[in-house]
């Protein structure tokens, strides 16, 4: 049983899946941010016919 655990540990050590988690987090985080800001801009655009509130709400969402 101990030999199987050692082989499994050696097998998992050679993979690069643990290194790519930062890239996955960055892509999903950027996607989440873009979607949130776009939703704010669309919501304010639907409620107002002027340009300034949309810009103000979008900048406030970025902060």
43 pLDDT above the threshold of 70: yes
Question: DSSP assignment, residue 14?
Answer: T
- pLDDT tier for residue 15 given thresholds of 50, 70 and 90: low
Mean pLDDT of the chain: 86
Q: Is 18 helix (H, G, I), strand (E, B) or coil?
A: coil
9 pLDDT above the threshold of 90: no
In the prediction, which pLDDT does 3 show?
60
Alpha-carbon distance of 44 to 50, in angstroms, equals 10
In the prediction, which pLDDT does 14 show?
63
> What is each CA distance from 14 to 19, 24, 27, 43, 55, in whole angstroms?
11, 19, 24, 48, 49
Q: What is the pTM of this model?
A: 0.64
């Amino acid at each position: 049983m101990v030999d199987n655990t050692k082989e499994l540990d050696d097998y998992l050590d050679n993979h690069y899946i643990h290194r790519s988690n930062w890239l996955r987090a960055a892509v999903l985080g950027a996607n989440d941010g873009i979607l949130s800001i776009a939703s704010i801009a669309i919501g304010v655009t639907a409620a107002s016919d002027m340009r300034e509130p949309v810009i103000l709400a979008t900048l406030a969402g970025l902060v």
